[in-house]
Amino acid sequence: MPMPLLRSSLKAAMLATTLLATGVAGLAVTVPPAQAEVPMQGYADLVAQVSPAVVFIEVTAQSQAPSGRAGNPLEEFLRRFGEVNPQFRLPEQPEGGQVMHGLGSGFLISKDGVVVTNNHVVENATDMRVKLEDGREYQAELVGSDPMTDIAVIRLKGAKDLPFVEFGDSEALRVGDAVVAVGNPFGLGGTVTSGIVSAMGRNINSGPYDDYIQTDAAINRGNSGGPLFDTTGRVVGMNTAIFSPTGGSVGIGFSIPANTVRDVVAQLQQSGRVARGWLGVTIQPMTPDIALALGLPGQDGALVAQVQPDSPAEAAGIASGDVISAVNGKPVTGRSSLPRLIAAIPDGERATLTVVRDGAERKLSVTIGALSPERVAAAPSDAPSGLAAPLGVDIEPLAPRLARQLGLPPNLSGVVITAVDPSGPNADRLGPGDVIAEAGGRPIATPRDLAAALREAQGRGVLLLKVIRDGDPVYVGAEVPGA
């Protein structure tokens, strides 16, 4: 995750309203969000057309954590964005977990009661009640869910002849297009807001398949799982997350594109799970310094930091330090686009990867595997930078091939600093390209080694680092705030 987000305490908040916690830290926004021009006839006809198919979900769930905060879905979500602001920590849970109640939104996609919503709305639910705009209520059961995209499908028991909406083509959206959100913010069912598409293809680091629509239509806690409509009444997105200093809307909301939702929902309805392709690499972002060292014209492509043993990537000859620039001819525009391209390829199918190695482009043929939960759990993190947040830096593993191309010994162990917060505690001590080889007298081979050294430094306020800078070792007394 980019350092400005870490150090500014920018947080993303799940929009399901819970009775346990509602505040989420964020970045203060002083400029009011831009508003889309309302058509002369307003949105009344559109709302009358689509709102009967928007539902409001009340969930009872059992906390999975036996005690403390571990395992809380909201705090886990926040953890992905850096350190949780202590001001907004969730209350302690009693032994044995705790019953939680939450509200969310969803939308009907069939007359027999199939509802699409967010996984975080219904996760660990022991009871789900769904209310329609006309007041009818139904018990619901889970059809299937996909935590990796935060999409779930539930079915209303005994439902028939219900109103429903259809998906539109999210690929056809343009920045500036008008959109309308309908949902259940703060339990206020039937709330309608409008705005524009502010950006496309946003990656907010909530998961490996981030590809969000950003909108300034006001969405708040409780809008989770609700639809984002275009002006024809088609669903073009599902509202999922916001950036906010208080948990309320400041005009920065994120929706999962309808094309992604449609594909995932189809698999969940068919088998209750989602099948994805697996390559078996850990990747890291391209920075200007790394692109320059590799002789690349820009920062597109995914840099391979590590190849998992016995993986399709290893069998195809992919090596650490390779830059994957295309999959079956489709360009890899950044680190986040590679997982989506690979995930869309069925297990057992062959794919052609365009790889840049030692300044030369080559084609590699790979047989894609199946991404299983065990492989997800075994895969090393591809976003380790948060482990060095106390130092005010972003870090990445130092792959041997990358070390050679940076002019470093190929057997050098350490982590390379890819960004430094200019307002951070070590802006005058550390710089991009520095390789941390030792911390507190212990060798550093992985980002987690550095995180362990930072924990051991608690109480001292300073940590002695051995840094390789321009090929020479330098010792740095790094400040560790709050230690």
449-479 residue pLDDT tens: 888 888 777 667 788 899 998 888 888 888 8
Strand 442-443 relative to strand 462-469, pairing: unpaired
Asked if residue 320 belongs to a known ligand binding site, the reply is no
Asked if residue 385 belongs to a known ligand binding site, the reply is no
**Domain 51-73+86-156 class, CATH top level:** mainly beta
For position 74, what pLDDT does the model report? 41
Whether the Cβ atoms of residue 395 and residue 382 lie closer than 8 Å to each other = no
The kind and range of the H/E element at 373 are helix 373-378
Residue of 376 and 404 predicted with greater confidence? 404
For 298-320, write each residue's pLDDT tens digit. Answer: 778 888 878 888 899 999 999 88
Q: Domain map of the chain by residue range?
A: 3-48+165-271, 51-73+86-156, 277-378, 384-479
The CATH superfamily holding the domain 3-48+165-271 is: Trypsin-like serine proteases (2.40.10.10)
Q: DSSP assignment of 51-116, as one string? A: GGGEEEEEEEEE---SSSSTT-HHHHHHHTTSSPPGGGPPPPPPTT--EEEEEEEEEE-STT-EEE
Instruction: Enumerate the active-site residues.
Output: 120, 150, 224
Q: Rounded to an integer, what distance in angstroms lies between the CA atom of residue 458 and that of residue 263?
A: 47
pLDDT at 95 over 70: no
For position 12, what pLDDT does the model report? 43
**Domain 384-479 class, CATH top level:** mainly beta
DSSP helix/strand/coil, 170: helix
Q: How confident is the model at residue 18 (pLDDT cuts 50, 70, 90)?
A: very low
Is 277-378 assigned to CATH 2.30.42.10?
Answer: yes
Q: Do domains 3-48+165-271 and 51-73+86-156 have the same CATH topology?
A: yes
Asked if residue 42 belongs to a known ligand binding site, the reply is no
For 130-175, write each residue's pLDDT tens digit. Answer: 999 999 999 999 999 998 889 999 999 999 999 999 999 999 999 9
For position 194, what pLDDT does the model report? 93
Asked if residue 85 belongs to a known ligand binding site, the reply is no
pTM value?
0.63
Whether the Cβ atoms of residue 414 and residue 426 lie closer than 8 Å to each other = no
Asked if residue 101 belongs to a known ligand binding site, the reply is no
Whether the Cβ atoms of residue 275 and residue 288 lie closer than 8 Å to each other = no
Nearest C-alpha neighbor of 74 from the set 10, 11, 145, 5: 11
pLDDT at 71 over 50: no
In this prediction, residues 118-138 reach a mean pLDDT of 92
Q: Rounded to an integer, what distance in angstroms lies between the CA atom of residue 190 and that of residue 207?
A: 30
